[in-house]
Amino acid sequence: MHVIMLAILSLAVFVVVSRSLENHARRADEYIYEKTVLSFTEWLKQPEPFRRDVLDRCWNIGGEHPSVVKITSGITWMACHGRMGDLKSLRLATAINFSLLIMLVYMFARQFMGRAVSLVSGIMLLCIPAVTEFAHFAEININLSLFWVLAVLFFLKGLRGRKAWVCLSGVMAGFSLGAKVTSLIIPISIFIWLLLFSRKRLAELFIPFLITGSVAFLLSWPSLWPDPVTGLIDHARYHMDAVAAARGRIWHLAFSSFFSNVPIGMTVLFILGIIKTFADKNSSGFLCLIIIFLLLGIFSAAGIDSDGIRYFLPAIPFFCAICATGLEFIVKPVIKTNVIYV
């Protein structure tokens, strides 16, 4: 029943978002996004797509490239731009991914929560206006959320089942890292979590995760194939220069930018969720907290402007899961029953 309810909700969200894609003015970063997406479609038409000059021209566009995340927009553009136009067809992928994200957050939360609380986790995505607004744009961070959740979901499934899930987790993490450097947070968080909660299985779990992730990362970035070392160094320099230019903000800007863009009620639930996570010694909840605070901490330490909540969007699903835990913390004592797990 919960899955059916969430599937109906996800479909309704897709219909509403897809019908309002043109109601939002084009963002400046969408021009860059569009350029990289269209370079992917151009690459598909090349008679010799794996020639070095072709790879460099189509997969290295001013420090950006058509990552796996952006390729989803390339697919919707190729399928729909004739009927919907360029902008709407590019944004359509975001609407699809956001609708799927609601279901995925439920599936992720079910790894360590009851059904009703997991359902609330997915619904809470819709309770943050800034998040639902970004669901209308051809923008990397909101789409990247899907890959972060898949990476952590598969990892948690791998802990309790077949190691193939851990390998799939590595693939999702590799694709994420190929899309944006901040996705390093996923392997770092998993490594920290393994040190804290499963040290004896660290090598058993992290090595296959790392191997499959590295392969997926390289496969997702063809312009690196001819000379991966030089390509990675150049890309690192590009981002280091961008970080250096953005530095100088007050240290708590990241935290204030994040929490000023979520409803105050959810902030309260988040605090309660942290308390419950520690009280229950919920290891999966700790993984969510590591991801959230590592992302906030890096932006805070580097003094980088997060552009409101935009750069934090990949961590929002984990934030919603902790908020749902906080709601359970309030509701269970009040109703004095396990109805929350029905």
Closest CA to 314 of 75, 69, 111: 69
- Residue 342's pLDDT is 42
- Residue 340's pLDDT is 46
**Cα–Cα distance for residue pair 176/266, rounded to 1 Å:** 27
pLDDT digits (tens, 9 = 90+) for 287-341: 999 999 999 998 887 776 667 788 899 999 999 999 999 999 888 776 555 544 4
**30 token code pair:** 């969408």
**113 token code pair:** 């929560």
**What secondary structure, in 3-state letters, does the chain show?**
CHHHHHHHHHHHHHHHHHHCHHHCCCCHHHHHHHHHHHHHHHHHCCCCCCCHHHHHHHHCECCECCCHHHHHHHHHHHHHHHHHCHHHHHHHHHHHHHHHHHHHHHHHHCCCCCHHHHHHHHHHHHHCHHHHHHCCCCCHHHHHHHHHHHHHHHHHHHHHCCCHHHHHHHHHHHHHHHHCHHHHHHHHHHHHHHHHHCHHHHHHHHHHHHHHHHHHHHHCCHHHCCCHHHHHHHHHHHHHHHHHHHCCCCCCHHHHHHHCCCCHHHHHHHHHHHHHHHHHCCHHHHHHHHHHHHHHHHHHHHCCCCCCCHHHHHHHHHHHHHHHHHHHHHHHHHHCCCHHHC
Spell out, as residue ranges, where the chain has pLDDT lower than 50.
Answer: 339-342
- Residue 203's pLDDT is 92
Closest CA to 208 of 150, 145, 163, 273: 163
pTM higher than 0.85 for the full model? yes
pLDDT digits (tens, 9 = 90+) for 260-289: 999 999 999 999 999 999 999 999 999 999
**Cα–Cα distance for residue pair 64/170, rounded to 1 Å:** 22
